[in-house]
């Protein structure tokens, strides 16, 4: 079945350093991947999305590239800020670009320290 | 745009009691999704509606959980005979209804069963 794997549960970094949060997936459909960010006591918000192989997508300094060959959609940022501290979820649509449920990874808690 | 509104924000209920959670989607959005968030399980899909009709309830526990969408302006999730393991944050999301990329989540209802 469809699934998403995020290997890091917790990432702690010093401000200004680069970060990469891992996301791999399994699906029988054409993949449509998302990254959501959830700050403490807030709603998850869409950060990035992509269904195009090998094309980088960017938003708010974060970027990710869908690689179908390796079933990956890793989230990166070149220089993290204190305000980036949050829970990050990778998600997979189970119907490609059509409306349907999302399968979420377990989430990665990012903590940025001064 | 007030976003997706969920009420109450917090609910404490005794074991065996009933809990009803409310969701008001963004005006004009035709799809409503319910997810449950726990530390252990992460974000789990429960059910969703499109144009008020139930489309997929594959994530709903078959006993004690039910969801309805009596009109386009609200949906309810009802849990009968609540158990401690039902304690979670219940998230509602709405979408204009065409693609997955337009999910907007509410801030959730934090349910505690004691």
Predicted confidence band at B101 (pLDDT cuts at 50, 70, 90)? low
pLDDT for residue B1 is more than 70: no
Cross-chain CB nearest to A100 (options B42, B44, B100): B100
Cross-chain CB nearest to B95 (options A41, A45, A99): A99
- Residue among A53, A86, A23, A89 at smallest CA distance from B93: A89
Distance (Å, whole) CA A103 – CA A92: 5
Tens digits of per-residue pLDDT, B42-83? 899 999 999 999 999 999 998 999 999 999 999 999 999 999
Average pLDDT over residues A75-101: 92
Q: Are B101 and A99 an interchain contact pair (Cβ–Cβ within 8 Å)?
A: no
% of chain A beyond a pLDDT of 70 = 100
> Do the Cβ atoms of B44 and B59 come closer than 8 Å?
yes
Q: In this structure, what token pair is assigned to residue A53?
A: 């192989």
Residue B101 contacts A, CB cutoff 8 Å: yes
Q: Are B100 and A42 an interchain contact pair (Cβ–Cβ within 8 Å)?
A: no
Alpha-carbon distance A91 to nearest alpha carbon in chain B (angstroms): 10
User: When comparing pLDDT for A95 and B94, which is higher?
Assistant: B94
- Give every CB contact of residue B83 below 8 A, 6+ residues apart in sequence: B15, B64, B113
Radius of gyration of chain A (CA): 13
Residue B23 contacts A, CB cutoff 8 Å: no
- Contact list in B for residue A95 (CB cut-off 8 A) is 100
- Contact list in A for residue B97 (CB cut-off 8 A) is 99
Question: Strand B74-79's sheet: what is its strand order?
Answer: B5-7, B19-24, B74-79, B65-71
Alpha-carbon distance B14 to nearest alpha carbon in chain A (angstroms): 23
Distance (Å, whole) CA A108 – CA A90: 9
Least confident of A17-21, A26-30, B26-30: A26-30
- Contact list in B for residue A42 (CB cut-off 8 A) is 107
Residue B91 contacts A, CB cutoff 8 Å: yes
- φ/ψ of A104, rounded to 5, equals -100, 145
Q: Where are the beta strands (DSSP E) in A1-114?
A: 3-5, 10-14, 19-21, 24-26, 33-38, 45-50, 56-59, 62-65, 75-77, 86-93, 102-104, 108-113
B64 exposure class (CB count in 10 Å sphere: 0-12, 13-18, 19+): middle
Q: In this structure, what token pair is assigned to residue B113?
A: 């069963």
Numbered residues of chain A with Cβ closer than 8 Å to any chain B Cβ:
32, 34, 36, 41-46, 49, 89, 91, 93, 95, 97-107
% of chain B beyond a pLDDT of 90 = 86
Distance (Å, whole) CA B63 – CA B88: 17
- Contact list in B for residue A34 (CB cut-off 8 A) is 100-101
- Contact list in A for residue B103 (CB cut-off 8 A) is 46, 102
């Amino acid at each position: 079945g469809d699934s998403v794997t995020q290997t890091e549960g917790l990432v702690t970094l010093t401000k200004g350093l680069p970060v990469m949060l891992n996301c791999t997936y399994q699906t029988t459909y054409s993949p449509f991947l998302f990254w959501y960010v959830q700050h403490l006591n807030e709603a998850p918000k869409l950060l990035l999305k992509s269904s195009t192989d090998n094309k980088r997508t960017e938003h708010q300094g974060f970027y990710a590239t869908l690689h179908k060959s390796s079933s990956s959609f890793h989230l990166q940022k070149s220089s993290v800020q204190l305000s980036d501290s949050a829970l990050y979820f990778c998600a997979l649509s189970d119907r490609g670009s059509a409306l349907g449920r999302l399968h979420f990874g377990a989430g990665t808690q990012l903590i940025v320290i001064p | 745009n007030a976003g997706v509104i969920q009420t109450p924000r917090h609910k404490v209920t005794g074991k065996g009691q009933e809990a009803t959670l409310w969701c008001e989607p963004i005006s004009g959005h035709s799809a409503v999704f319910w997810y449950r968030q726990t530390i252990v399980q992460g974000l789990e899909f429960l059910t969703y509606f499109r144009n008020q009709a139930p489309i997929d309830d594959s994530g709903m526990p078959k006993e004690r959980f039910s969801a309805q969408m009596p009109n386009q302006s609200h949906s309810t999730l009802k849990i009968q005979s609540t158990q401690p393991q039902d304690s979670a944050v219940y998230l509602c999301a709405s979408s204009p209804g065409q693609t997955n990329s337009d999910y907007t989540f509410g801030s959730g209802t934090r349910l505690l069963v004691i």
